Structure 1
């Protein structure tokens, strides 16, 4: 399978191609890339791309054993007065204050304080190393030479003792130039800040470092480098200054140092020997218009296009799940789609302020169907859009310009509206211009310097329950998000060829053929398809169908299990489970509801759902009774409504079980609309459910009703998703019972 359920493997799939996303890269002579992130929820990109990753272990969701070596941030010389740790500090350890940072300076010569520090280090012994910050803070409060020398001797002794206790751990210092010659054999790196750009502590911003400061710092860094110690330079720039950050990193690298360019809060994916092209995309939707994500147009239509361009989409509810303003997004998200539906957001001013902040930060934003806030001068003028009331007393207007990219699946279906809006930015490009009887012009869809917008009827239009793109979405998204022709991950293609995968749901394994009652459907699938076509097949069974203790005690279970064994033993077959009792409604699996008809197979002695029994138990049954010793089933195909709650996906992740099914790709020549092509899957909290690429015969026969030959219509979907653009791999997906009727058997042969 191309998509994985387990967290590590999914991240690796997404990041195995991330190295292609680099804007540029430059040689580093095998020096480690060293990154820093001091807030909660460290981005997964840093765990994969950095060799050493310095995090604050007191924060949430920072400890993850991935590729990077994790280095715990430890402040040696200072502690913030606002921190919980300050409450543990004995006042006798304090030797001064740093008013710029509202901290107290601490005395490393005090044995009690050293004991306190060592105890703190022991809490982080699972980390790969320690980054000792503020080790030179004593210089601001100790003016007496003897006291300084005493402090430095204590600091040297402390560093040596840490190395003796933890000999395999990396030790990295922030500066420490006064003692480096005494500890050079005990440390693995030295950090210095602000070689070209630093922090303006007085005004709270950023500043360029003077030539005099840089000259002094370079002399110190070159001395450290002469000891063959890794020298790491952290410079500070605003998150939107990505080009300058990359140029600065190159300058630092050319001096022989390890660069890391970040923001003043140290909460972005910074620039090291690489600069990651942001590959996440944010889709903002309103739950009032989209109560269930899996049936939501925003999920299908926006996510499909973003995935086509190699983005990893995340859907967030616009009223309750906006990312906080104090966390930059421009380093992580290459696209923000606002698709609110028919409602204004609940707090337009708060949301509008969020939008302005993101635009100022450098994010590209695309509004689809509506803005989510009123079309008034107060809101639109700061976006570079002029607004004036419609002066005409009628609904008459004419189209005076229509871009060639409109009329994609539907012609525009627009009104002039109560107000005329017109983008005035230098880089704005109207895609449709209407003019009323008074000569006023309005632009319902346009590209702008910050992204773009399209009002309903100009971006999409819904008719006969089908939502259609008025504008070519591939053009619209590419231009709005300034997408260049860089390499992108593509789950549809391998070595230039369209990927094919085949998976079979276990339903009907025990069904006899209408045209030959002596044979089971599973035998025909085995002999006429899996053996004949040597392509890889992922084949599942329902334990409750074929096991002796299942729902059909009178069936010949010994023969059925032997058929399953013969299938799983084939070299081109991957064994999978389709559950124990085939739940029809996965939400019910989490409840203590008593099982009754319509919820699953009725199995004697199994009265209440158990997710462990459905998933882990059914896989154990396959692995202990059916699969050969050299094959282990670790793949689960969702059953019934194929809509498992996040808690069920969590079970898959925790047990490294792959998952597949759901998605309703039903595009056809009769309804050739991209809204009928499903995306790759859906996020449910931090877990990802993988969709099947195409639908099975049950969908095409309208829940297994005649005429039964209609599964062959999936070929139309194969063709339509590979015409001008390739949106999907080929996925032959069916149930065993498809071969039980002659017409449907013929349709499956046509598909193969």
Structure 2
């Protein structure tokens, strides 16, 4: 941290610990690199030494990010094709905390830097270059770092007092750099200053950083400083040869207070005006700073008071609030306020806000009270749902702009004011005189719901300058007699206003190239069940009846079996060979993806793994359970529950016994209640498969509530459970009690999750039991026929799971007037406001757009897009062609004002719509084809969707020529 700008005194802040928060490494699509947007004229840099978890999505808005390697961050575990991660390495000094400190000969340590608690290394020591490569660089290279940020390059000034001594130190530094580049010639090197050695090593350097061009930090006095003009002139004089002679990018790192965003924005602007790469952050580099890109925080910290040893899946924050927050483009981190430590340090750089859903008084109210006040003081928006979890009185009430309401309930509680725009969304507010929180607004705030009884008057919900609150029971009303619930609050708009969310492109995994995603998956339950009707095809087992359906429609389907159910050791040993033969036939279909439904189909996951309430069948000491006939799982004689056997073992077993050539299991479909703990998710990640199921989206016309629409999934200790878009036929058949044709009602679910908002893709999800009854098979055919008449984009479950995981690492950033979206290339859609669209005249990485039920879908061509938003009418009036829709993935996209071309790869007969020009000639594989006029443009189809293609995927090259 800088205390000046001349000589040694300026340096980049000493790193602290950070840790990676999630294991979301995905295989990168081939198009992620080939369709990448060209980089800006100068690369962007970020420096982040903050505490765990590292905000990967926000930082990946930058081209290069320097991190502290001792944090444990693993660059190989993040898929950020446009961001490379550099390891901090101190060349001139070493602290006792480094693991190689004790190996350094004491004779090499020539001085102290008391401000940082470090010792200065003698660069002239003959063995130092080899030591530095072996003990510092080699381990980092082995961990996956391919770039290094060399700090303290001018620390020798502390021990070299004569010109001769300084020259010896400089020569030693040159030998260190030479040793690194000799061992790793492709390594990216970024210097912090090092002006003295750049004449000798500039050819090996990728960029140079320095601190405090306008705003500095005095470490000794703990003060922010204004850099004197004379110091700035000196720095710019050092910069001139770097830019003019060496052609090196130069980074200026300045410092502003955490809470002063305007200072950071203005300072970054001033640095840019000098032709330098700006990065403005806090003195400790503990938060995501401001550079040319300005990352938008897209995470919410959700604090709950859920009971111990109960699945996170059924908590209020997951069941209710996560769905509207996901729709608004936000990802969630969950903490239990009574069990987990509250995060310290700055939060505003990565969190769009904090939401507390509390049902009771918290265990440590004073600790929470002070923490909440610190967040509000730092500018973090805070929302309370349910209760405040602690008394609202005294200084706390005053700080919130509230006051206790005097009086007692005298008779019924009456609604005297309700904001019609935000209250009464699915049901009107119904006061409960036994359950209320008597607080009143002070001078500020906007009351959304005011109640009165006698002389007692209070505000049960309000928007406040710091966020807002909605007290019980006016967020979600539980209707216990119907086993249903309803939103009283309009959650989308309330959260938007209370959290003061910025309008931004929303990463949307429901859609690709304008069309709603379609998938289908089959849980393996019932694979051994016999057909119960006279089947014309002669099917004996359910799988045989379903095989014909899968082959007939040709739509992508992810099918699973329970390994224990079809094994020679399981309860169906007598017919197991025949069952495996049927499974092999299903898996051999080109439109079928393989999945495991575990080994014995555990039902209560929290119990059998010991993470929840234990049962008599769980042996906690051994970590394995004894399966019996009490319904916990399939009874495989002699088997004791083993988590690795259920997940990785079943994947390996199905691959070994039933996989056709060229196929392997790609997905683990959770069984039973799907309330899997993090230890189970970790096993799926280690097995190298994606995972899905759970969530319980049950919305129908008889239960038309958003409360029964699950979110995209849930993060648990760094492992993400992907929820099924909707539930299976069991819900619609009353758990197979009838009616057996009830699965037709899933069409209601599809409709209600499309309008008024497309909040889910389509998932035709059912069990193998469906093949046992004529009515259930008829219902399945009805559903598939209805779906094939809709404009859909068919994908496998593995494709959808990757898109959902990609939302967790998608960065959304502003760069001047442009939005910049980055991810791993699986998620290809962002949704913008209904009256906006991208300006295609200067957009990059954008194939087109299409208005949808609730916004305009923007089609990305790969893993990065850069575009401005303009009014929809103006965008549609541009005289250039664009892709309005396509039912497959777009690659190799190219555009000129009069032409465009792309590769379209689809799991079914390719279909696409071209808009924006009335007279265009379209060639597919070199052959001119005619299109059909539609409201969106001209639709080109290479076959009906219901006819299967001859191979797993069909790729075509499309050329569109709109020249007169």
Matched, 1:659 2:691: yes
1:11-22 equivalence runs, <5 A: none
Tell me what 1:31 maps to. Answer: 43
Corresponding residue to 1:390 among 406, 416, 419 = 406
**How far is 1:45 from its partner?**
2.5
Q: Distance in 1 between matches of 2:306 and 2:150?
A: 46
Tell me what 1:120 maps to. Answer: 135
Corresponding residue to 1:60 among 50, 56, 72 = 72
Tell me what 2:394 maps to. Answer: 377
Q: Distance in 2 between matches of 1:115 and 1:552?
A: 64
Aligned positions, number: 730
Matched, 1:275 2:284: no
Corresponding residue to 2:478 among 455, 462, 470 = 462
Q: Distance in 2 between matches of 1:277 and 1:318?
A: 26
SS in 1 for 2:344: coil
SS in 2 for 1:71: strand
Matched, 1:345 2:362: yes
- The answer (yes or no) to whether the contact 1:289–1:340 under 8 Å persists in 2 is no
Q: Distance in 1 between matches of 2:387 and 2:418?
A: 19
**How far is 1:114 from its partner?**
5.5
Tell me what 1:207 maps to. Answer: 225
1:64-463 equivalence runs, <5 A: 64=76, 66=78, 67=80, 68-80=83-95, 92-111=107-126, 117-121=132-136, 122-126=138-142, 127-140=145-158, 142-226=160-244, 227-288=246-307, 291-326=310-345, 328-341=346-359, 343-385=360-402, 387-391=403-407, 394-395=410-411, 398-404=414-420, 405-414=422-431, 419-425=438-444, 428-435=445-452, 437-438=454-455, 441-463=457-479
When residues 371 and 420 of structure 1 are mapped into structure 2, their CA distance, relative to the original with a 3 A threshold, is closer
Matched, 1:532 2:552: yes
- The answer (yes or no) to whether the contact 2:252–2:278 under 8 Å persists in 1 is yes
Matched, 1:583 2:573: no
1:473-622 equivalence runs, <5 A: 473-516=491-534, 519=539, 520-527=541-548, 529-555=549-575, 557-586=576-605, 587-588=607-608, 591-597=623-629, 598-604=631-637, 606-622=638-654
Tell me what 2:26 maps to. Answer: 9
Tell me what 2:865 maps to. Answer: none
When residues 192 and 530 of structure 1 are mapped into structure 2, their CA distance, relative to the original with a 3 A threshold, is same
- The answer (yes or no) to whether the contact 2:59–2:288 under 8 Å persists in 1 is no
Q: Distance in 1 between matches of 2:694 and 2:243?
A: 56
- The answer (yes or no) to whether the contact 1:739–1:748 under 8 Å persists in 2 is no
1:664-683 equivalence runs, <5 A: 664-683=696-715
Tell me what 2:56 maps to. Answer: 44
SS in 1 for 2:449: strand
SS in 1 for 2:240: helix
Tell me what 1:717 maps to. Answer: 749
When residues 319 and 553 of structure 1 are mapped into structure 2, their CA distance, relative to the original with a 3 A threshold, is closer
- The answer (yes or no) to whether the contact 2:651–2:687 under 8 Å persists in 1 is no
- The answer (yes or no) to whether the contact 1:583–1:589 under 8 Å persists in 2 is no
Query: TM-score, normalized by length of structure 1?
Result: 0.89
Deviates more, 1:165-174 or 1:92-101: 92-101
1:647-685 CA deviation, whole Å, 9 max, x = no partner? 221121123201111221122222222221111222221
- The answer (yes or no) to whether the contact 1:504–1:734 under 8 Å persists in 2 is yes
Q: Distance in 1 between matches of 2:94 and 2:567?
A: 64
- The answer (yes or no) to whether the contact 2:281–2:290 under 8 Å persists in 1 is yes
1:129-172 CA deviation, whole Å, 9 max, x = no partner? 33221222333554433333333333333333333343332232
RMSD: 3.1
1:496-538 CA deviation, whole Å, 9 max, x = no partner? 32222111112222322222275222222222x2223232111
Unaligned runs of 5+ in 1: none
**How far is 1:733 from its partner?**
0.8
**How far is 1:613 from its partner?**
3.4
- The answer (yes or no) to whether the contact 1:583–1:640 under 8 Å persists in 2 is yes
Query: TM-score, normalized by length of structure 2?
Result: 0.70
**How far is 1:479 from its partner?**
0.8
1:453-486 CA deviation, whole Å, 9 max, x = no partner? 1111333332324343211011111111222332
Q: Distance in 2 between matches of 1:577 and 1:88?
A: 50
**How far is 1:734 from its partner?**
0.7
Q: Distance in 2 between matches of 1:559 and 1:463?
A: 48
Q: Distance in 2 between matches of 1:418 and 1:584?
A: 39
SS in 2 for 1:433: strand
**How far is 1:380 from its partner?**
1.6
**How far is 1:289 from its partner?**
8.5
Q: Distance in 2 between matches of 1:165 and 1:723?
A: 59
- The answer (yes or no) to whether the contact 1:233–1:257 under 8 Å persists in 2 is yes
**How far is 1:59 from its partner?**
2.4
Unaligned runs of 5+ in 2: 1-21, 611-622, 785-964
